[in-house]
Amino acid sequence: MMPTYNKLVRDKIPEIIVATGKGCNTTILANDEYVKELKKKCYEELDE
């Protein structure tokens, strides 16, 4: 079973994963969901 990561991805990471012979599933978020997740990521970075 593949691990699940509910994270935003960038820089063509899914394409890089597939190029290495592995698989991944992605979801394109609606604008409001994207803003919510982006804010969550910003707060994670601030905490670090």
Could you tell me which residue, 11 or 14, shows the higher pLDDT?
14
Q: How far is CA 8 from the centre of its chain?
A: 3
Q: What is the pLDDT of residues 25-42, one digit of tens each?
A: 899 999 999 999 999 999
Helix, strand, coil shares, percent, the chain, to 5: 50, 0, 50
Residue 8 pLDDT more than 90?
A: no
Q: pLDDT-derived band of residue 2, with 50, 70 and 90 as boundaries?
A: confident
State the pLDDT at residue 21: 94
**Sequence ranges of the domains in the chain:** 13-47
